[in-house]
A and B are shown apart, each in its own frame.
Chain A
Amino acid sequence: MNLKNLSLNQKLGVLALILGLIALFTHDPTKATYVRIDPKELSLEINSPSKFIAPVELAEEIISGHEFFTLVDLRNPSEYEKGTIPGAINLSAKDLFESYLQRNQKIILFSEEDTKALNAWIALKSQGYKNVLVLKGGYQGWQNEVLFPKISSDTTKAGKEKLEKIKQISNYFGGTPILISEGKGIPIQTETRKATTMQQQTPAPAVKKPGGTAKPKREGC
């Protein structure tokens, strides 16, 4: 068969068939097996503190609402029901890959403490997820540093400003700072509820536009 005798349409048809035929013998491009991971780089990252985000930092990001990220609560559904960080979604470690999380998305993981979240971090990283962070200290860290931070009274002007800021953040999420005086913790506000009962019913605060819950941008029709 002489190629020159074919019309343009026939040549295009032949080209498409050849490409289709090649496709038969190639590996599946949707499988992530060829995500190139540099083991050296990964182990360096595992040991670096840059994968952590401090609770207060996260709180500020949620309040500002500037950046879109997905907050993942890795604890049991029952713990999640009792109280979580506003905007967090509840996924088990094994559901991580089934979910709609995408490799280029900013993902912040937390569990009760660090361990579970760190394991999930390694799993995601090894699958080529680019932008994954772990909440330092987990949900406990969140409670201790954002919801019910322990503060000692400070009468200097700078100290007062700092306290005011901590208090604002804490109140924003429905918590309250605990004043430390003579080794005893007293909640700063007049409410006499104990911190422990409060954490049970951390109210969904009137968050204007939390970064975590902002709907992702629509992409379809």
Chain B
Amino acid sequence: MEEKELTNGETTKAFHKESFPEKPYWNPYLAGIGLGIVLLLAFVIMGRGLGASGAVSTLVATGVAKIAPNHAQNNEFYQNYLVQENPLKDWLVFEVLGVLVGGFISGIFANRVKFKIEKGPKINNVQRLVFATIGGALMGFGAKLAGGCTSGQALTGGALLNLGSWLFMLSVFAGGYLIAYIFRRLWL
């Protein structure tokens, strides 16, 4: 039993060595300062913070309104995202497009752009994709209930000392640590 653990541990270690060699990630504190400055710029230039899940909501609401206009008309949640004539001319939608480009630029310069499925050593690709989709759905639902995700609530609200955002952030970590052990097979 112990031997098996070790082998798995070693494959994980090997995975780490193989998959992170391209170029090392930045010092976390420097990357954090970079992120903090981007967030500060958003505050100074726009008077608002960053976000991600809001863009998804806009896209979903727009899609629903295209397919079933009456249905969207009667739903207060969708209506929140359909205020403008063209709902897609939304700040967060453009911001998330930028995230896509920015991530790609960074990845290219660090040789990290690679077509792959990232997963723990004990599960297969199909399992990983199924769990990724389930996790995404949980997060989409939770983010809407909480009024924002890690970017919109934890980062933005965290920096503004927003009470609800801090409660939210603590809950995210609490929720994660609560079930981390149960789902360790996914990652370790």
Contact = CB atoms under 8 A, between A and B. Distances in A.
Q: Do A and B come from one complex?
A: yes
Interface of A: 8-9, 12, 214-215, 217-221
B19 to A, nearest CB: 25
24 contacts: A8-B27, A9-B27, A12-B29, A214-B83, A215-B83, A217-B83, A217-B84, A218-B54, A218-B83, A219-B48, A219-B91, A220-B51, A220-B54, A220-B147, A220-B148, A220-B152, A221-B53, A221-B57, A221-B143, A221-B147, A221-B148, A221-B151, A221-B152, A221-B153
B51 A221 contact: yes
B80 interface: yes
Contacts of B151: 221
Interface string B122-165: 00000000000000000000010001110111000000000000
CB-based closest 3 A-B pairs? A221-B152, A221-B148, A221-B54
Contacts of B143: 221
A41 B90 CA distance: 38
Interface string B61-95: 00000000000000000001101100000011000
Contacts of A219: 48, 91
Interface residues of B, number: 22
Which one of A9, A214, A220 has the highest number of Cβ atoms from chain B below 10 Å of its Cβ? A220
A9 B83 CA distance: 46
B32 to A, nearest CB: 9
Interface of B: 27, 29, 33, 48, 51-54, 57, 80-81, 83-84, 91-92, 143, 147-149, 151-153
A213 to B, nearest CB: 11
Contacts of A12: 29, 33
A218 B48 CA distance: 11
Contacts of B84: 217
Contacts of B83: 214-215, 217-218
Nearest to A8: B27
Given A218-B54, A221-B51, A221-B92, 8 more contacts: A214-B83, A218-B80, A219-B48, A220-B54, A220-B148, A221-B54, A221-B57, A221-B151
A220 B90 CA distance: 11
A221 B149 contact: yes
A218 B81 contact: yes
Nearest to B83: A215
A214 B84 CA distance: 10
B59 to A, nearest CB: 13
A69 B48 CA distance: 19
B162 to A, nearest CB: 11
B42 to A, nearest CB: 11
Nearest to B153: A221
A94 B159 CA distance: 31
Contacts of B91: 219
Nearest to A13: B29
Contacts of A218: 54, 80-81, 83
B29 A9 contact: yes
Contacts of B57: 221
Which one of B29, B33, B151, B153 has the highest number of Cβ atoms from chain A below 10 Å of its Cβ? B29
Nearest to A9: B29
Contacts of B27: 8-9
A12 B151 CA distance: 23
A85 to B, nearest CB: 22
